[in-house]
Amino acid sequence: MNKQEIDVKQKIIISAKKLFSELGYEGTSVRKICDEAGVSLPLVSYHFGGKENVFLAILEPLEKLPFSAETGDPKLDLQKYLEVMIAFYQQDREISLIVRQELAMSSTRADKIITFIQNSTNKLKSILENGRDQGIFQFESISNALRFILGCMSMISVSNTGMLEVIIGEKEVGDFPIEKEVIAFIYKGIRS
C-alpha cells in the first residue's frame, strides 16, 4: 500500500471515529464519513469493504494496548496498567465514547467491542487476583472490583468534556490531576 492509500485510509478512520463518537453508529452513514474525510464514496468499500469494517478498524488499538509484563508486584502492575489505560482514554476520547455508547445500548456490535477489550480486562483481573492472593488487595468480589475500577477509569474520558462541571460545578483551583486521583482512589478501595 502506498503513502497516498494510507493517507486516504487514515482520513476515513479519523472522520468515522469523530462521527461515530458524535452521532453513534446508526446515525453515521458512509456518505457522512466520506464527506467529512473529503474522499469519494467508493473508497470506503475499496479500503474497508463497508461501514462495519471501518468501525472495527477504529477499535483495533484497543486490542494492541502496550501493557508491560507483570512484575510480581501487584501494586506496581496495577499502577502500570492504570497508567496505560488512562493515557489511552485521554489521548483517544472518541474511542472511549464509542465503546460506552455501544455497550450501553447493547448494540449488535457490543460483542465485537467486548472481544477487543477482553485482553485488557483479563490483564486487570489477573493483576487483582495476584494482589488478592498475596494479601496486598482486599475485596469481596473480583467482578465487583473490576466494575469499580473500570467505572472509575471510564469517568476520566468524560472528565474534560464539561459534562460533569454542569452537575458538580467548576474544578477547584489547584485540583489534583484526575489521573493521579483515580489511581489513589482505586488503591484505597482495594487495599488491605
Report whether pLDDT(186) > 90: no
All cell numbers assigned to 12: 476515513
Identify the weakest region by mean pLDDT among 7-11, 35-39, 167-171.
167-171
CATH 1.10.357.10 residue ranges of the chain are 65-189
Higher-confidence residue of 19 and 155: namely: 19
Note the pLDDT tens digit of each residue in 48-62.
999 999 999 999 888
pLDDT of residue 180: 77
Fold of 3-59: Arc Repressor Mutant, subunit A (1.10.10)
Superfamily of domain 65-189 in the CATH hierarchy: Tetracycline Repressor, domain 2 (1.10.357.10)
CB 13 within 8 Å of CB 58: yes
Name residue 137's beta-bridge partners: 191
Integer Cα distance of 90 and 10 in angstroms: 20
% of the chain with per-residue pLDDT over 70: 85
CATH 1.10.10.60 residue ranges of the chain are 3-59
Average pLDDT in the chain: 85
Note the pLDDT tens digit of each residue in 97-125.
888 888 888 888 988 888 888 888 999 99
Split at pLDDT 50, 70, 90, the class of 168 is low
Integer Cα distance of 15 and 30 in angstroms: 10
pLDDT of residue 123: 92
- The model's pTM is 0.78
Q: Cβ neighbours of residue 115 under 8 Å, at least 6 residues apart?
A: none
The closest alpha carbon to 153, from 180, 133, 182, belongs to: 182
CB 16 within 8 Å of CB 22: no
Split at pLDDT 50, 70, 90, the class of 135 is very high
Task: Provide the b/e sequence for 66-87 (b: ≥16 CB within 10 Å).
Answer: ebeebeeebbebbebbbebbbe
